[in-house]
Structure 1
Amino acid sequence: MGSKPNLEDVEKILSYKFNNKKLLEEAFTHHLSSSKRYLPNERLEIIGDSVLNLIVTKELFFLYPNLDAGHLTHLRSDNTDNEKLARAAVKHRLHQFIINKNLERDEHIQVFMQEMEEYPIHSHGLVTVPKILADIVESTIGAVYIDSNCSLETVWKVFRSVLEPIIYEEMLVDHPTAKLQDICQKSKLDLRYEKESWKKDSSVSIFIENKLVGKATYHLRKEIASNRAAKCVLDSIDTIMMDLGVVDYSNATREKNNEEEHEYSD
């Protein structure tokens, strides 16, 4: 076994001094490798997840008083989902302090760190996220919340900088599969994903009106292969629609945007 991580360095990263050091150690003792001395961090994850959703929702609610519930939910999700939290963990080196190292897990984290370079802010479903990274951020939020006598203000003060860059309304990006589905539905086009070959060659193909329009491979998860295939189609959507004889598909997306602009101006 390697040496035990110096969790005082975590306090320096967070600029927060724990009153109860056991809470900090509990936060970094992952439930897949928990010791007998300390509880695994699942309990802190649960409360940390709830606190994070509340403080981020509160911040966005007052920042965007005219934003509808759907967009508010989308914005909150982009700022609190597993990928966002995993990025924060890597950026601030929190993963280096997980108690009891695991080689396979560390390799997974290395792959994620490499993929982050291709998508600097958020991939929206195009990379595999090691959930343990998000777990560590949530459990640390829970630990600070309990340690600060349940102070939401303290938690936000500590973690706002950890979560930077915050994703704001103008930075919102639709999930590729959702965006492609929306375009095809409004253009009355048949959209089909062919996923049967994924077990054989890690590929997912997309057909519109029974015509192959995109394909992508990703061996770790079928869902991400699907997302990447959708992204491939969207990158060439103008040409694809022209080949299908659809000349005004963009009217559907413009119609959606116009409805939102009208709603905000009311």
Structure 2
Amino acid sequence: MPFSRIYYLYFSPHKAYVRKLKNILGFVPGNLNLYKLAFRHKSVAKNIKDGAKNSNERLEFLGDAVLGSVVAELLFKLYPYRDEGFLTELRSKIVSRANLNQLSRKLGFNEFIEYDARMISYPNKQSSLLGDAFEAVVGAVYVDRGYRFTKEFLLTRIIKPHVDIHMLEVTETNFKSRLIEWCQHYGKEVQFVHIDNAPDESAKLFTVEVRVAGEVCGLGRDFNKKSAEKLAAEEACGFLKVFDTEDIAR
């Protein structure tokens, strides 16, 4: 084991933190600051230059791309005779915000996340912290150890023990349709509102709010308009407990 990792594990002032993180990840970080950054939400981040903050958003962006690549390759090999539509839908289920939130909580990432509770008042926004942190950690592992290590980490430490791909294959997760049906059943108006991006954000990034009876219940952001709507609907379903309600109704 390199000296830097031995230092972090046994001699660093942060050794308790490192040991706890090692129990979750299965390895000792090579650059501890990366992982601390991965758990830092923008609500507690400081401005560093030109409005940019030392939050986990950049690592989240990177981790999202790496995770999508690893899952896409896995599904490509696992289902050699299924078409692109099937593979895309199944990948969406695995990397969905709801699934990543669940994985993040199961792994114990919620104990590491830094955020300002006063600035995050909606429960759906609080839950999205988990999935965001999960992707940021994947980004941190990639920067720290490289793609090959990150791929092995995701496959053996995360997906194999915690993701039932075949169960997800037969699980319906059309969040937008379910949300609209739920709102119709309970007589509530639902709106998908497209929000203009901030001046410093990419014009290609779509931001969508879901408003149910005038209340913001979900937010989705993606470089694809339909994907942004699906993410927003997914958050809204979680916030409104749409699937829990349907299970009880059955």
| TM norm structure 1 | 0.56
Query: Is 1:27 aligned with 2:38?
Result: yes
Give the secondary structure class of the aligned counterpart of 1:130. helix
Q: Distance in 2 between matches of 1:180 and 1:106?
A: 22
Is 2:26 the partner of 1:15?
yes
Asked if residue 140 in structure 1 is aligned to residue 155 in structure 2, the reply is no
Unmatched tracts of structure 1, length 5 or more: 113-127, 182-190, 206-215, 237-266
Q: Write out per-residue CA displacement over residues 113-159 of structure 1, whole angstroms, 9 at most, x where no aligned residue.
A: xxxxxxxxxxxxxxx87221111000000000111133243342464
Specify the structure having the higher radius of gyration (Cα). 1
Q: CA deviation at 1:45?
A: 0.6
1:164 is matched with which residue? 162
RMSD: 4.2
Q: Please say if 1:62 is aligned against 2:77.
A: yes
Are the structure 2 counterparts of residues 7 and 17 from structure 1 closer, same or farther at C-alpha, using a change threshold of 3 Å? closer
* Conservation of the 8 A alpha-carbon contact between 2:18 and 2:28: no
Deviations 1:153-199 (A, max 9, x none): 33424642587123326433252654899xxxxxxxxx9x769x97x
**Matched residue SS, 2:162:** coil
Matched with 1:88 is: 103
The letter for the 1-side match of 2:111 is Q
CA separation in 1, counterparts of 2:175 and 2:135? 27
- Number of residues of Structure 1 aligned to a counterpart in Structure 2: 188
Aligned-residue identity in percent:
24
Checking the alignment, whether the CA contact within 8 Å between 2:101 and 2:127 is kept in structure 1 is yes
**Alpha-carbon distance change, 129 to 67 in structure 1, aligned in 2, over 3 angstroms:** farther
1:53 aligns with 2:49: no
Does 2:77 match 1:71? no
Question: What is the TM-score when the length of structure 2 is the normalising length?
Answer: 0.59
Q: Is the 8 A contact 1:79 1:166 kept in 2?
A: no
**Match in the other structure for 1:118:** none
User: Contact 2:45–2:54 at 8 Å: present in 1 too?
Assistant: yes
Contact 1:15 1:158 in 2 (8 A): no
| 1:46-90 CA-partner distances (Å, limit 9, x unpaired) | 110000000011111100111111111110011001111100111
SS at match of 2:36: helix
Residue equivalent to 1:149: 146
Gap runs ≥5 in structure 2: 1-13, 191-211, 219-232
Listed as ranges, the matches of 1:231-246 within 5 Å are none
More off after superposition, 145-154 vs 77-86: 145-154
Call closer, same or farther: CA 1:166–1:97 in 2, change over 3 Å.
same
The alpha-carbon distance between structure 1 residues 176 and 149, as it changes in their structure 2 partners (threshold 3 A), is: closer
